[in-house]
Amino acid sequence: MKAIYTKTGDKGSTSLRGGTRVPKDDIRIEVNGMTDMLNSQLGMVRAASVDAVEKELIHSLQKELMNIMSHIATPEGIENPKKLNCKHLTERMEEFIDSIQAPQGFVLPGENLLSSQMHIARSTARTVERRLWTLNRSHQVKEEILVFFNRLSDCLFAMAVKHSR
């Protein structure tokens, strides 16, 4: 097995795609750290869900989050060979959102464990989206990624509402 640690980050830096070293608190690393947290939270949601269609959608979203992280970690001037599927997944999320009747008034998390986990993932998705806009001020983020994250939090809200009834 390949070693899990490299010791190259012991002094506070890490590598972007292609080997460029940046501080561990670089906004690209921060965005990817929050995206990684979101992906872990979606794993909890997927493991707890019993709906096969929903599980497959969440799994697809998780794979795309890994793809997006690769794009975020790619410095300007380097081509990332991984194709983004954000537009297709955004359409799938919109279809799901449109299938759920919007609630009246505020929704408080806590109806059940699955719905609460979805709300946690939703709020993390909103944090990632805000950090992406921060990143976009210094390193251009593809518009389809920004739209994807805006829709992702809406989709997770719709899932949470569906499971709180």
Quote the domain boundaries for residue 64. 13-98+109-164
Is pLDDT of 38 > 90? yes
Quote the number of domains for the chain: 1
Whether 160 is in a domain gets the answer yes
In a domain, 18, yes or no: yes
In a domain, 80, yes or no: yes
Q: Is residue 157 part of a domain?
A: yes
What is the pLDDT at residue 1?
A: 67
| Both structure tokens of 142 | 């593809």
- Using one digit for the tens of pLDDT, what is the confidence trace for 61-90? 999 999 999 999 999 888 899 999 999 999
Residue 108: pLDDT band with limits 50, 70, 90: confident
Whether residue 88 lies inside any domain: the answer is yes
The CATH number of residue 44's host domain is 1.20.1200.10
Greatest mean pLDDT range, 2-16, 18-32, 93-107, 147-161:
147-161
Give domain status of residue 104, yes or no: no
**150 found inside a domain:** yes
pLDDT digits (tens, 9 = 90+) for 120-150: 999 999 999 999 999 999 999 999 999 999 9
Structural domain includes residue 146:
yes
